Amino acid sequence: MWMLSSLIDFVFPARCIVCNSGPRQLCENCLPQSKTIPIAGFRFPVTAGFELEGGVEKIIAGYKDQQLTSLERPLAQAAALLLAAQDFSSIDAIVTPARNSKNYRKRGFDPARNVAKKALKLVGVRVPVISLGNAKTRLDQRGLGKRQRLQNVMGTMSLRRSGLLRVALFDDVMTTGATVFEMARACEKAGVEVAFCCVLAQRKSNI
Ligand SMILES: [Zn+2]
């Protein structure tokens, strides 16, 4: 794999998604430094690693929208720092949002699920990562206002796996929190307790 990626770098030299210098998609200088940002308003602790701005915003957009999968690793490393600070002793699984089928078709991968899986591996925690199922279709949340987001997402996800008692939630970007509310609702409806939630980045917005 190292040989192949080196060859690809040689033939198609990459540019850093943040500062535009070569030859990597993310240079050493632009590696994001995550923080621990507590987010209020939920019945369980929610922590974000970044504010969605500057370099981090470019990295997450490059990963999700341009499918630059080499950016998955630095994001997983940041997620690993968040997860390493949590108590997994009574956690049966990490739960990620239901896939938006249109985005999934376009990307060919599920960003939140992939980052969570890689992060767990880095931390050495062995719990499964479970995506919620789609109970109803929903629109892409982007471009919607706060109330519309909640209406759009409410009742759309379901937890179909049985035998779980306590789970943690994980998502890549939190804007209004509507998706995290819906994830928690789906888990609680299935009789499963949500212990905590980690999100990679919080988008500060006025919507
Ligand atoms: Zn750079």
DSSP states of 175-186: SSSHHHHHHHHH
SS3 157: strand
Residues 6+ apart with CB under 8 A from 124: none
* pLDDT value at 24 more than 60: yes
Residue 207 domain-assigned (yes or no): no
pLDDT attached to residue 137 = 83
pLDDT attached to residue 9 = 60
How much distance in Å is there from the Cα of 59 to the middle of ligand 1? 10
On the CB side of 171, CA atoms within 13 Å amount to 21
Domain limits for position 13? 1-29
Nearest-angstrom CA–CA distance, 202 and 181: 15
How much distance in Å is there from the Cα of 54 to the middle of ligand 1? 12
Q: Which tops the pLDDT comparison, 128 or 14?
A: 128
Do 16 and 63 share a domain, yes or no?
A: no
* pLDDT value at 28 more than 70: yes
Do 93 and 163 share a domain, yes or no?
A: yes
Do 123 and 70 share a domain, yes or no?
A: yes
The count of structural domains within the chain is 2
pLDDT attached to residue 80 = 97
Q: How confident is the model at residue 41 (pLDDT cuts 50, 70, 90)?
A: very high
The DSSP annotation for 80-116 comes to HHHHHTS--TT--EEEEPPP-HHHHHHHSS-HHHHHH
pLDDT, tens digit, 9 for 90 and up, residues 90-136: 999 999 999 988 889 999 999 999 999 999 999 999 999 999 999 98
Residue 108 domain-assigned (yes or no): yes
* pLDDT value at 207 more than 90: no
Strand partners, 133: 158
Span 60-70, average pLDDT? 94
How does DSSP classify residue 19? T
pLDDT attached to residue 26 = 94
How much distance in Å is there from the Cα of 69 to the middle of ligand 1? 16
pLDDT attached to residue 130 = 97
What percent of the chain is predicted at pLDDT more than 70?
A: 92
* pLDDT value at 5 more than 70: no
Residue 50 domain-assigned (yes or no): yes
* pLDDT value at 62 more than 80: yes
Do 16 and 52 share a domain, yes or no?
A: no
Do 70 and 112 share a domain, yes or no?
A: yes
Tokens of 128: 């499964």
Nearest-angstrom CA–CA distance, 121 and 58: 25
How much distance in Å is there from the Cα of 22 to the middle of ligand 1? 8
Closest CA to 196 of 82, 68, 47, 41: 47
* pLDDT value at 7 more than 70: no
Residue 19 domain-assigned (yes or no): yes
How much distance in Å is there from the Cα of 15 to the middle of ligand 1? 8
Do 2 and 77 share a domain, yes or no?
A: no
Do 90 and 165 share a domain, yes or no?
A: yes
